[in-house]
Amino acid sequence: MILLLGGSGYIGQAFAEALERRGREHRVLSRRETDYTRFDLLLGVLRHSRPEFLINAAGFTGKPNVDACEQAKADTLAGNTLLPQTIAQACAVTGTPWGHVSSGCIYSGAKVVEGGRTRVEKDLTKPELQMLVRERPEVIHGFTETDPPNFTFRDLPCSFYSGTKALAEEALDGVGQSYLWRLRIPFDEWDNPRNYLSKLLNYAKVYDNVNSISHRADFVEACLRLWELRAPFGTYNVTNPGFITTRQVVSMIASRLKTPRRFEFWANDEEFYRLAARTPRSNCVLDTTKLVSAGVAIRPVEEALDDALRRWQAAVKPG
């Protein structure tokens, strides 16, 4: 049996559906049923039900966006750092292998490889870097799992949300048998306030940047596949390979959905942060070589996006 925590959430629901599709015996444990944030109660569940694997899709993301985490720091810390640490300890004591939904939002920017030298660029909105992204995308490289996170409490600036996700990765390092699955900006064909495509369709103005992003079903399939393949435990960037600019996504939306909407962009960072955002946003490119080398098949970002837009369902998914 696979035990799923956070099954009521946007990502947790996708895990539940994927387990259902596979016919895998699983149990969704809700906080209402058992307060799994308490070590003693979680340990009791693990000892009693002896799951073969545990998935932690619980966490505190802030709604409608990470700005809300700045006003709810205790909940953010509890959901994103203390909870995974509690789970890690309970799983280590019981020898339960498990996977944790981490985030790529602990990075900012990308690596630029030119003339045999690699440098980290944290802000890809600089005009000269935008030009590289457009004209020489081959020099833009994603952060690998061994690159130190650079959008954290240790490497400011960061949002409080990102800081707590990075602290969790540190807390889990070397404890028990776990996967840290890094998700980025989930999207799919189901219109939903949490879906990146829905967000772009509803923003008054759009913020142009460069990102690796994760198709929601592709993400959970890839996470489950790592476990099924018995890939080595550790951290994996789980995004659709490649990167994409907001302008490219918006242009795909316009052509596929034939929306009459004219997308407007914030003029620059200064305007975006003055009028639309309270806390810094992570925008980054991740490298997926480790995931793919482990034998996990995952579609390139353009293909996953195009597919989601072709199948676009303009209604909130039931359940």
Ligand X SMILES: NC(=O)c1ccc[n+]([C@@H]2O[C@H](COP(=O)([O-])OP(=O)(O)OC[C@H]3O[C@@H](n4cnc5c(N)ncnc54)[C@H](OP(=O)(O)O)[C@@H]3O)[C@@H](O)[C@H]2O)c1
What track of x and - describes contact with ligand X for positions 156 through 185 (by CB under 6 A)?
---------x-----------------x--
Minimal distance, residue 63 CB to ligand X, in Å: 7
Q: Is residue 176 left, alpha or beta, with left meaning phi > 0 and alpha meaning psi from -120 to 50?
A: left
* Upper half-sphere CA count for residue 263 (Cβ side, 13 Å): 22
Minimal distance, residue 23 CB to ligand X, in Å: 23
Residue 278: count other Cβ atoms within 10 Å of its Cβ: 13
Minimal distance, residue 83 CB to ligand X, in Å: 5
Q: Counting contacts by CB under 6 A, is residue 88 touching ligand X?
A: no
Q: Counting contacts by CB under 6 A, is residue 186 touching ligand X?
A: yes
Task: For ligand X, give the closer residue by CB, 84 or 129.
Answer: 84
Could you tell me which of 201, 190, 183 has the C-alpha nearest to residue 282?
183
Burial class (CB in 10 A: 0-12, 13-18, 19+), 48: exposed
Residue 212 CA to residue 105 CA, distance in Å, equals 10
Tell me phi and psi for residue 54, to 5 degrees.
-125, 140
Give, in order, the Cα–Cα distances in Å from 261 to each of 196, 247, 299.
16, 14, 28
Query: Which of 90, 101, 112, 166 touches ligand X by CB under 6 A?
Result: 101
Query: Which of 30, 94, 125, 177 touches ligand X by CB under 6 A?
Result: 30
- For ligand X, the binding residues in 41-80 under the rule CB under 6 A are 57-61, 75, 78-80
Could you tell me which of 59, 73, 43 has the C-alpha nearest to residue 6?
59
Minimal distance, residue 12 CB to ligand X, in Å: 5
Task: For ligand X, give the closer residue by CB, 96 or 282.
Answer: 282
Q: Give the footprint of ligand X on this chain (CB under 6 A).
A: 6, 8-12, 30-31, 37, 57-61, 75, 78-80, 83, 101, 103, 165, 183, 186, 194
